[in-house]
Structure 1
Amino acid sequence: MLARLASSLASSSPSQPFAVRLCRACVEILGADGGAITLASTRPERLTVTSSNGTSARIEDLQDVLGEGPGQDAFREGRTVITHVDGEHGGPFPMFTELAGDIAGPLTVWAIPMHPGGTTVGVVTVYRADGDLEQSLDDAQFLVDAVGAALLDDRSTSGAPFAAWTDRARVHQATGMIVAQLAISPDDALAILRAHAYAESMTLDEISREIVERRLSFTNTDQGDSHSESRTDDSTGNGDQ
């Protein structure tokens, strides 16, 4: 699997984004018709990193809008979820299967969690209109975990507000926690996150880590927003000015 992954990446154009090349390699090696890579694959943190074609993109959008689908279950449960879209199997995602059938006709969707190191960080979703994948599920899982490890180490986005895909996932997770705490839209939550990072002279990843690790909460209280204990209890004299 690693040799085929390396060969596929070597034969692709280096001018393409690394995530795009990884996604296309998965599709090629697994013998699928299309695929997509998502990080933090449940709403509202869900981030579609890349998709190989328009059908894959529409399938990911459908899961995002409905809040159901194989990718979301694969992320939550850390296991491969296979869904048949054929007009006969309603399964656990009846709305998804019905609308996906309208988009692409009969197909089978495989949602395989990326969990390099044991922690699920996202999902590779591939589909095929006819037949099974060309690799076993064990080999597919190994491939997807290797892709997840490669994505987490990708520094090609160093010019963006977050240095790596792990930082990007953490920002989206923190945004989702603010949505839950304040009952506001994701766009408003991200605006609050950016404003707070600016006010505290912290990066988006640093302030997101504070939120994700529950040292900072935006829940309304009589005392206002809570703050990091490490900053509030600083006895060194080197805390916030």
Structure 2
Amino acid sequence: MNTSELLGLLARTLAGLDAEASVASRMCRACTTILGARGGSLTLATLPGEQVTVTSTNASAARVESIQEVLGEGPGRRAFDDDRIVSAPLGATLGDDPFPLFSQLAGEAAGSGVWFGVPMRVGGQPVGVLGLVVGPGHELTRDAEEAQFLADAIGTAVLGEIDRLGWTARARVDQATGMVSAQLRVQPTDALAVLRAHAFGRGSTLEEVAEDVVARRLSFADDAGAVETRRSEEG
């Protein structure tokens, strides 16, 4: 299918979706449908090494993105860094699986299958990632070149709407990072690593931990070289 045909298919698919939803949400759902995936998500790069989830088609896809954010690794992160399509199994890991912990946790969250990370490029540079999950034994219904073209089309469309995207959750993460940085007297990158580690240990999302820090339900203190956490009592 040539690019004109792909754009026509994208337009027809978008026409059948909720017009009240955001551009990012509709583009993500349209590409998920066209590529034969059972779920999808969009992330955008904010700072070097950091990506924020803009939208997900379902709770399972959102959870997988949260796992990548907490771990700081996964096919989506690698796809952005290497500027190429990267896939990883969900559930049972293979001997050469580069992300065994991600595969295990993501499989528990989304069921078995394969997660694809497709870099979204604008002007030839990656700006984010289209994440897609397919069932076990399945592949994307379009080839890699077509998937890449659609991801690039999404990137251009979403960046055009960037001022309308909701950044409340990410703003809380940034605020919590600053608070932990001050509490522990460490660099922001180290403070973010502490938040991620706490989210991993607690089995929650980075945003949930950040919300607890900002609301002062959770604080970090340096006590004799050991990091302690304490929760204030609910009123």
Which TM bucket (shorter chain)? Answer: 0.5 to 0.7
Q: CA deviation at 1:105?
A: 2.5
Judged with a 3 Å threshold, the aligned counterparts in structure 2 of structure 1 residues 80 and 23 are, in CA distance, closer, same or farther, namely same
Q: CA deviation at 1:13?
A: 1.7
Give the aligned partner of residue 140 of structure 1.
Answer: 147
Judged with a 3 Å threshold, the aligned counterparts in structure 2 of structure 1 residues 69 and 42 are, in CA distance, closer, same or farther, namely farther
More strand per residue: 1 or 2? 2
Aligned counterparts of 1:111 and 1:41: Cα–Cα separation in 2: 17
Q: CA deviation at 1:86?
A: 4.2
Match of 1:89 among 94, 103, 107: 94
Amino acid at match of 2:132: V
SS at match of 1:65: helix
1:153 aligns with 2:157: no
Give the aligned partner of residue 122 of structure 1.
Answer: 128
Aligned counterparts of 1:45 and 1:76: Cα–Cα separation in 2: 11
Q: CA deviation at 1:155?
A: 6.2
Aligned counterparts of 2:47 and 2:72: Cα–Cα separation in 1: 8
Q: CA deviation at 1:85?
A: 2.2
Aligned counterparts of 2:26 and 2:76: Cα–Cα separation in 1: 20
SS at match of 1:115: strand
Aligned counterparts of 1:149 and 1:141: Cα–Cα separation in 2: 12
Give the aligned partner of residue 223 of structure 2.
Answer: none
Is the contact between residue 42 and residue 67 of structure 1 (CA under 8 Å) also seen in structure 2?
Answer: no
Q: CA deviation at 1:39?
A: 0.4
Aligned counterparts of 2:36 and 2:44: Cα–Cα separation in 1: 22
Give the aligned partner of residue 19 of structure 1.
Answer: 24
Give the aligned partner of residue 40 of structure 1.
Answer: 45
Give the aligned partner of residue 104 of structure 1.
Answer: 110
SS at match of 1:114: strand
Is the contact between residue 41 and residue 75 of structure 1 (CA under 8 Å) also seen in structure 2?
Answer: no
Unmatched runs of 5 consecutive residues or more in structure 2: 1-5, 193-235
Amino acid at match of 1:100: A
Q: CA deviation at 1:79?
A: 0.5
Is the contact between residue 32 and residue 128 of structure 1 (CA under 8 Å) also seen in structure 2?
Answer: yes
Between stretches 137-146 and 8-17, larger displacement belongs to 8-17
SS at match of 1:9: helix
Amino acid at match of 2:38: D
Aligned counterparts of 2:152 and 2:78: Cα–Cα separation in 1: 17
SS at match of 2:20: coil
Q: CA deviation at 1:6?
A: 1.0
Judged with a 3 Å threshold, the aligned counterparts in structure 2 of structure 1 residues 93 and 26 are, in CA distance, closer, same or farther, namely same
Is the contact between residue 93 and residue 104 of structure 2 (CA under 8 Å) also seen in structure 1?
Answer: no
Unmatched runs of 5 consecutive residues or more in structure 1: 162-167, 187-241
What is the aligned-residue identity percentage?
Answer: 42
Amino acid at match of 2:33: E
1:183 aligns with 2:187: yes
What are the superposed Cα offsets for residues 194-215 of structure 1, whole Å, 9 maximum, x if unpaired? xxxxxxxxxxxxxxxxxxxxxx
What are the superposed Cα offsets for residues 71-113 of structure 1, whole Å, 9 maximum, x if unpaired? 0001111100011224141511011011112222320111000
Judged with a 3 Å threshold, the aligned counterparts in structure 2 of structure 1 residues 116 and 155 are, in CA distance, closer, same or farther, namely closer
CA RMSD, Structure 1 to Structure 2 (Å): 2.8
